[in-house]
Structure 1
Amino acid sequence: MDNSICQGYEDEIQSLEEEIKLLAEKYEDRQQESTFYSDEEILMSIKSFQRESQGGSKGCDSPSDLKAQLESLETDLSFLMKFTGIQFTSHSKKTLEKTRNRAVQKHRLSGNCHSLSFQLEFRLLEMQNKENVSAVVTDLSIIMESGESSDVSKFVSR
């Protein structure tokens, strides 16, 4: 009787330790994401935005204009989801490497396309020089539930 109680406690402790480890990893990922841009890059972006605002005839958008823009974007997204049948249900990203001119992130998207569930995993390599920023997707992998439409799974794996 004592052994089974002890085993139950040990199992619970192990489960909690695993949960703590996962939460610590998530916290670390979020910390990396929040420090993705340096203070210098943020200041440059703010100055660029201010120049664009001053150069335009309108200046900053009012809250009602921003709300209208948001509603328009939501309408467009809804149309695209209905038109394509693709609906994303979750997204996560992890910064793997960050230097002054280069960043590598790992993205994971989950979703559905009509009745098929899928996950996309890829790495995004962003490189910046003085004039522009370029981005390249590498290591793309599409994961589908094994029981779902084996013909589609075979096609996707090619």
Structure 2
Amino acid sequence: MKGNLLGVILVGIGLVSLLGNIGFLGDELFLLFVSAAFFLAYFGGKGKRSLGFLIPAMLIAGVGVFANIEPILGVMEGPVFFWMIGASFAGIHVIHKANGGTFKSTAWAMYLGLGLAAFGVFVLTIEVMSFEPLARLIKFIWPLALIAGGLLLIKRHKTIEKEPF
């Protein structure tokens, strides 16, 4: 079955590539079709689901969606890019956990997704810095948020040392 699935995926990618090369399919849609092939491999296999298919499926889907909406984003282009990639990583965690994966096996993806989403907010604040009252406020909010986040991590680390799993 795995050989058949891989064969179908290769034929699909080849057809999509050919359609793109002769002008029937834009590059942006090509990314979504490649992502769909990886999703097919992830969900099409029997037994345990392989993260090796889900990770590229989600990341290529995120880039593909971004590429399709990028022309209408304007100044939101930077933040939305990081939010899309962050959502892709968070999606890896959510989908794999919903399909029998453990929290620990994909927790890294959730944390990375949240970090990228936060970085997208940071990029957004830089984009709106031309609004003077907000710019003055942001000069204090980000350092305070970083200090608070660092203190929470320190507290969490000390709690984990006292109460191991």
Q: TM-score, normalised by structure 1?
A: 0.26
Structure with the largest fraction of helix: 2
Of structures 1 and 2, the one with the larger relative CO (CA 8 A, separation 6+) is 2
* Higher Cα Rg, which structure: 1
Q: Which of the two has greater strand per residue?
A: 1
